[in-house]
Structures are given as structure tokens and as C-alpha cells.
Amino acid sequence: MFDLERATNQKALESLIDSYNYGWKGLYTMYKLINLWFYKKTSDSKKIIVRGYYAYYSRHGQISYWNAYFVYNVKKNKYCYIIGSGNYADDSWNGLSDCDLKKLKIYYYNPSVNPNNYYLEKLSQTTIY
């Protein structure tokens, strides 16, 4: 069962950033996770695929934004980056189409970027998984 509080605790979110940074081995470094959306369950009921919107540095120090796929292991409370997935985003656009935004359920807002917790409060009353 997906546990919203557990999936968004510091340890879990650090596993997401660590997985991304390990995958790119210094070429890119995620420095700010902005949003996470529930995308779909896998055939293995212990895992779900999520979309993440984040900011990263290139090895030359350039700041860029991207939206990519991650696998969340419910049992281990860890995320794994799917290298090379997703699409371009920028500081004012999360990279998702209007169609995607209608289908996906957001479950994480970075409080330093999005101080309004309205969506999380609403989400906590619904079942994601």
C-alpha cells in the first residue's frame, strides 16, 4: 500500500536525488526536487512509476529543469531514477502537457518552491495506490 507520508519523508526523497546523481555520475547533479506525480502501478504491486520535476546543475554549473520517470519501491521506501527518461521543463513549466496534468495525481510539492499545501491536503483524503 502506498503511504504518502512515508513516500515523501526525507529519507525517501534523498534516495530519489541520490539515485539520479549516481545515474549521471557528475555529468548532472539534481539540487532541487520540485514536484512528484503518481504515474502508474507496475505489474509488481510493490512498485509504482512516478514523474518528477526538478532542477539540476550541469557539470559546467548551468541550471536546467527536467521532468523524468522514477520507480518507487513501496516496501523499501526508495526511488530509482530511469536514466534518460522524461522531457524538457523550465523554471515556470513542469514539462507536463495539459493532458498529463489531467491524468496524473500530484503527491509532493516542495514547500520552498510551492508553499501552498492545498493540493497535498486534498490528496491526503484520496487513495493513490
Of the candidates 30, 37, 1, the one whose C-alpha atom is nearest the C-alpha of residue 15 is: 30
The whole domain housing 53 covers: 4-123
pLDDT bin (cut points 50, 70, 90) of residue 126 is: very low
For residue 129, tell me if it sits in a domain: no
Domain assignment present for residue 82? The answer is: yes
pTM equals 0.86
Tell whether 128 is covered by a domain.
Answer: no
The answer to whether position 117 is within a domain reads: yes
16 is a domain residue: yes
Q: Rounded to an integer, what distance in angstroms lies between the CA atom of residue 12 and that of residue 34?
A: 14
Pairing of strands 63-73, 28-41: unpaired
Give φ, ψ of 106 to 5 degrees. -75, 140
C-alpha cell at 14: 534523498
The cell for 57 is 546543475
CA distance 25 to 19: 10
Residue 48 lies in a domain: yes
In this prediction, residue 114 carries a pLDDT of: 58
For the stretch 41-94, pLDDT in tens is 888 778 999 999 999 999 999 999 999 999 999 999 999 999 989 999 999 899
Q: Count structural domains, the chain.
A: 1
Residue 41 falls inside a structural domain:
yes
* 44 occurs within a structural domain: yes
Contact 111, 11 (CB under 8 A): no
Residue 20: Cβ-neighbour burial (10 angstroms; 0-12, 13-18, 19+): buried
